[in-house]
Amino acid sequence: MERRDFLQTLGALVCLSADGVRGPDWPVLAQPLLLMLLGHEAVRELGMQYRALVPQEDNRDLLRSTLPAPWHRSIAATIQQDFEAGRTVVLRGWILSVTEARQCALFSML
């Protein structure tokens, strides 16, 4: 991820916290691999596609509740388990775990 993208992403997260959202979203939103690979704009588009594909999850609180609490287990382990169990979704051709797709969806709401 380029420095400019990183700063934009960080700025969005700060805004989210300042917006009165309950609890820090940073840990559940942190998905270094996708952000590093694709950049924040592409991740946002993936998230929007997921919300269109799964409209029943197009809700910030619901999405947050589906993601593991950061102190419970690492996001990376959950994503790995998703892939092992075949809990995947195809967004813009990318084969993603459902967990990271939900992360993208939450990210797209920032």
CB-based contact 105:34 (threshold 8 Å): no
Answer yes or no whether residue 62 interacts with other proteins by CB under 8 A: no
Closer CB to other proteins, 17 or 80, in the complex:
80
Answer yes or no whether residue 80 interacts with other proteins by CB under 8 A: yes
CB-based contact 64:28 (threshold 8 Å): yes
Answer yes or no whether residue 6 interacts with other proteins by CB under 8 A: no
Q: Is the dihedral of CA 11, 67, 90, 80 positive or negative?
A: positive
Closer CB to other proteins, 7 or 90, in the complex:
90
Restricted to residues 10-39, the positions that interact with other proteins (CB under 8 A) are: 33-34, 36-38
CB-based contact 68:28 (threshold 8 Å): yes
The tokens for 73 are 């287990």
Interface residue list for other proteins (CB under 8 A): 33-34, 36-38, 76, 79-80, 82-84, 86, 88, 90, 92-97
